[in-house]
Amino acid sequence: MPAITPLKLSALALATLALSACQPNPQPASPPAPEVQKAIGAADADKFILDINEWRTKNNPRLGAAYWVAATYITDDSQMLAAQATEENLEYVTRKVDEAKRYNGLTGLSPATDRALMLVKLGSTMPAPNDATKREELARIAASMEANYGSGKWCHAGATGQQECLRLQEIEKIIDNVELKNTPQQMAEAWAGWHATAKPIRKDYQRFVELMNEGSKEIGYANTGELWRGGYDMSPAEFDQDVERLWGQLKPLYEQLHCAVRGKLNEKYGDAVVPKDGLIPAQLLGNMWAQQWANLYPLMEPYKGVGSLDVSASLRKLRDAEFDKLKAATKGRLDEKQLAELQHQADTAMAVKMTKIAEDFYTSLGMPKLPETFWTKSLLVQPRDRDVVCHASAWDLDLGHDDVRIKMCIEPTEEMLTTIHHELGHIYYYLAYKDQPSLFQSGAHDGFHEAIGDTITLSLTPKHLQTIGLIGDAKTDERAVINNQMKLALDKITFLPWGKLVDQWRWKVFSGEIAPEHYNEGWWKLRGAYQGVAPPLARTEEDFDPGAKYHVAGNTPYTRYFLAFVLQFQFQKALCDASGFKGPLYECDIYGNAEAGARFTAMLSQGQSHPWQDTLEKLTGTRQMDASALIEYFSPLMKYLEEQNQGKSCGWAGEA
């Protein structure tokens, strides 16, 4: 699965249980009418917030269970229960948003109550209309779109001529093309097969947008995109400027990497498939959405064979050894069903082993062991008997009583190991801020939540991986550094424009700039402009390619991931400085450092109780998100790429 995952409950739970950290109506708030002013005071506002915190704490386990079952047992019944839970939450959130307005302009509020009211006023990332019938419709559509994604399959004639139906993770193996043996046509067919699964939700999505926009307007925002951008302790316009500033810092590095990758793909497939100076066909980049290109590392490896970086091979070897051990413990001949069961047991054991590797990193920093219920209630592998939403996610079902879980279909790959570290970042954030009031139990902003686990992955240096036995000799000479940076950049740098454009598309959809009759056209214009990629096959408005991405079907805001990919390097630099590390940033490993762990935990424990600028400043000394640490980290690779790209025509027509 991709390393980028949603902010962690299910998409439905995110939309309804987690009240967004949004700014109040950007227009000046009107004070209460004189007769209302006399009737209410600061104590009433305190009681209003206390009641909300208590309701959330009491109801989260019950409603969260409905979402969990809907994601892990995809049936008509479970989707009905999830839709009912969503409708109940939408009704509650919509009502409380309206009630919160009575406290506009009230003086004498405590800082905590004033901030909590700010968080309540804009409700959720799925703003619902006041009309009960429309709320029910919104909830039903949300449940249906997530179920469509989780149960999607590509059915086609297999190698034997018999029809076979493949789940997403099976289709991804064709697209990932880790051995670089699949043809462009084979990958294009698999790509199209998965993207076709989104066609059924196109009309639903159009109605979904209409209903959310209606809810946003009732709150006081022009559309849902403006509401989402209001959630960063600054105005939507200021936030837009901040994102553009960050992209301006990062774009030169992405352009150099794109240029080098396009050149290698052109050498492999020829001008007819990959033009020397144009867009790269999306199916060739080793990922279903072309969001991260790490599977191209064998093609892009600068210095062949320098440093052993094949973590996946080591993990597969461990899994196979587990299978052989289980098989040796049985007696007699095993039939196909029994072998499949043993394989499932080996996969489960390996998933637990990989998760414990990640847990060990966090506990080395002084954080607690995962609760026992984590191991009994999490879903770590694809069940043999049913469909589940395999998209990795982390869950906090009881807001402070330790029922934390992850939902993944883990396989023995380096990408999955990285994803586990990412998901446990969410889990340890939950555990760190569990003593905060429930309205403050969230990240300082949503990008913080996504950055925590990714910060930890930056310490999975070759030396660290050698120490825990997953690679051989971890060379540290200049060529090994470039190899390692290339591998990481194909994961981190290639994601940046994708992380920005997903919400660029949605914001334009919400505002009407991209009309329903141009959904797909608008999507591919942005992908061409920002990523420099093109669809592998002709697309029409019968297609709905954005809906083939979980976060669109599941209504999870996406700019958080772009911000997280900046923040993780900013966090890492601050933690490395705190640990006393003096070498180049790309060599820093904070494993086992108590001071770094204490600084990190102190930040996590604040949750959303303060503006993110305050929280960031306490860890990093600055109040501004900044990509300088990322650029510093990859400075050796940038120099290498500039040298390799001399004489090439980099860039592409229409780039953003």
pLDDT tens digits along 283-329: 999 999 999 999 999 999 999 988 777 899 999 999 999 999 998 88
Beta bridge partners of 156: 164
Per DSSP, 163 falls in state E
Parallel, antiparallel, or unpaired for β 533-534 and 404-407? unpaired
Mean pLDDT over the full length of the chain: 91
Residue 25 predicted with pLDDT over 60: no
Give the pLDDT confidence of 493-528 residue by residue, as tens digits.
999 999 999 999 999 999 999 999 999 999 999 999
Contact 139, 84 (CB under 8 A): yes
Q: Going by C-beta distance under 8 Å and a sequence separation of 6 or more, which residues neighbour residue 298?
A: 178, 179, 180
* Cα separation, 365 vs 184, whole angstroms: 45
From 73, 230, 202, 204, select the one nearest 138 (Cα to Cα): 204
Place of tokens 């076979």: 164
User: With bands split at pLDDT 50, 70 and 90, how would you rate the model's confidence at 1?
Assistant: very low
Check the annotation: does 426 bind a ligand.
Answer: yes
Give the pLDDT confidence of 122-132 residue by residue, as tens digits.
777 899 999 99
What is the mean pLDDT of the segment spanning 632-642?
Answer: 97
From 505, 430, 442, select the one nearest 124 (Cα to Cα): 442
* Cα separation, 648 vs 76, whole angstroms: 55
Q: Check residue 24 and give its pLDDT.
A: 29
Where would I find the H helices in 181-331? Answer: 184-195, 202-219, 224-229, 236-269, 297-300, 311-328
From 465, 401, 383, select the one nearest 438 (Cα to Cα): 401
Give the pLDDT confidence of 222-235 residue by residue, as tens digits.
999 999 998 899 99
Residue 210 predicted with pLDDT over 80: yes
Tokens matching residue 133: 């019938």
User: With bands split at pLDDT 50, 70 and 90, how would you rate the model's confidence at 17?
Assistant: very low
Parallel, antiparallel, or unpaired for β 280-281 and 533-534? parallel
Q: Check residue 39 and give its pLDDT.
A: 66
User: With bands split at pLDDT 50, 70 and 90, how would you rate the model's confidence at 23?
Assistant: very low
The backbone torsions φ and ψ at residue 164, rounded to the nearest 5 degrees and listed phi first, read -130, 145
Residue 500's identity, in one-letter code, is: K
Rounded-to-10 torsion of CA 405, 575, 489, 444: 50
What is the mean pLDDT of the segment spanning 417-436?
Answer: 96
CB atoms within 10 A of CB 181: 7
What percent of the chain has pLDDT above 70?
94
What percent of the chain has pLDDT above 90?
80
What is the mean pLDDT of the segment spanning 116-140?
Answer: 89
Angle, vertex CA 211, rays to CA 206 and CA 216, nearest 5? 120
Mapping DSSP to helix (H, G, I), strand (E, B) and coil, where does residue 20 land?
coil
* Cα separation, 6 vs 381, whole angstroms: 18
Place of tokens 């095993």: 334
What is the mean pLDDT of the segment spanning 355-362?
Answer: 97
Beta bridge partners of 406: 394
Give catalytic residue positions: 423, 551
Q: Which tops the pLDDT comparison, 105 or 141?
A: 141
Q: Check residue 220 and give its pLDDT.
A: 86
Contact 139, 212 (CB under 8 A): no
Residue 649 predicted with pLDDT over 50: yes
| Least confident range of 87-96, 329-338, 438-447 | 329-338
Domain extents for the chain? Answer: 11-135, 152-306+475-549+634-656, 311-474+560-625
Burial of residue 57, with CB atoms counted within 10 A of its CB: 0-12 exposed, 13-18 middle, 19 or more buried: middle
Return the HEC string of 553-611: HCCCCCHHHHHHHHHHHHHHHHHHHHHCCCCCHHHCCCCCCHHHHHHHHHHHHCCCCCC
Q: Check residue 331 and give its pLDDT.
A: 77
* Cα separation, 50 vs 60, whole angstroms: 15
* Cα separation, 531 vs 407, whole angstroms: 30
| Least confident range of 257-266, 327-336, 438-447 | 327-336
Residue 11 predicted with pLDDT over 70: no
The secondary element (H helix, E strand) that includes residue 407 is: strand 404-407
Phi-psi region of 303 (alpha: psi -120 to 50; beta: other; left: phi over 0): beta
| Least confident range of 9-18, 172-181, 401-410 | 9-18
Check the annotation: does 632 bind a ligand.
Answer: no
* Cα separation, 363 vs 512, whole angstroms: 48
Query: Structure pTM?
Result: 0.88
Check the annotation: does 560 bind a ligand.
Answer: yes
Q: Check residue 387 and give its pLDDT.
A: 87
Contact 123, 93 (CB under 8 A): yes
